Structure 1
């Protein structure tokens, strides 16, 4: 049985989705069913911050951007939800980058 991870207004949930080509991160408040912040390798690619597909370097950039947006909105603590993926590679790079930028989870 899978444990259900829920975010609260005090600690919203950071959900990571990884496809073969891209990686997405969303800050979600589950009590109101609202997506507060979203960043992806697609949006970073449009702004010419990275080239190519999602790799560990792109994931680090996404994590840093998510953390900056959280801090701008006053969010310091989050709940981490990696979905069905293991904590390795691109998922790990994004999470560690967000931690370095000042988000606690």
Structure 2
């Protein structure tokens, strides 16, 4: 019987996307993961296999700024933070990896926040 769970379908979509895109030192991959309550973002150099910078809603630095914000606004703040941290490491160009999630809601908010922060993709 075929596996029809949402999480398994997302993993299959992500695998298809990852066949097409990969991050490099010049243009690393901005990966987004959305859980039910949190958002995570990483800038990854796939050739070296290293995470350059990361940000999430569980960062103690961001927790104080998130008081009273809804999940979408929190995701936008994660995007701005990942952009600031990436720029401090000298990264301006990235490839966006939505991780098999639809490009709407919180995933789009992370992308918009990263663009506002100065990342180009």
Q: Greater CA deviation, 1-10 or 36-45?
A: 1-10
> Which residue pairs with 1:66 in the alignment?
82
Listed as ranges, the gaps of 5+ residues in structure 1 are: none
Instruction: Give the 3 Å change call, closer, same or farther, for CA 18–39 of structure 1 in structure 2.
Output: same
> Which residue pairs with 1:2 in the alignment?
16
Deviation of the 1:51 alpha carbon: 2.9
1:93 lines up with 2:109 in the alignment: yes
Instruction: Give the 3 Å change call, closer, same or farther, for CA 25–54 of structure 1 in structure 2.
Output: farther
Deviation of the 1:54 alpha carbon: 6.6
Listed as ranges, the gaps of 5+ residues in structure 2 are: 1-14
TM-score (norm 1): 0.91
Q: Name the count of aligned residue pairs.
A: 103
CA RMSD of aligned residues (A): 1.6
> Which residue pairs with 2:50 in the alignment?
34
Asked if the contact 1:21–1:54 (Cα under 8 Å) also holds between the matched residues in 2, the reply is: no
Which digits, 9 at most, give the CA deviation of each residue in 1:63-101, with x for residues without a partner? Answer: 000101111111110000001100000000110111112
- Structure 1: distance between partners of 2:106 and 2:46: 24
Q: What SS class does the counterpart of residue 16 from structure 2 fall into?
A: coil
1:75 lines up with 2:91 in the alignment: yes
Counting helix residues as a fraction of each chain, which structure ranks higher? 2
Deviation of the 1:53 alpha carbon: 8.3
Larger of the two Rg values belongs to structure = 2
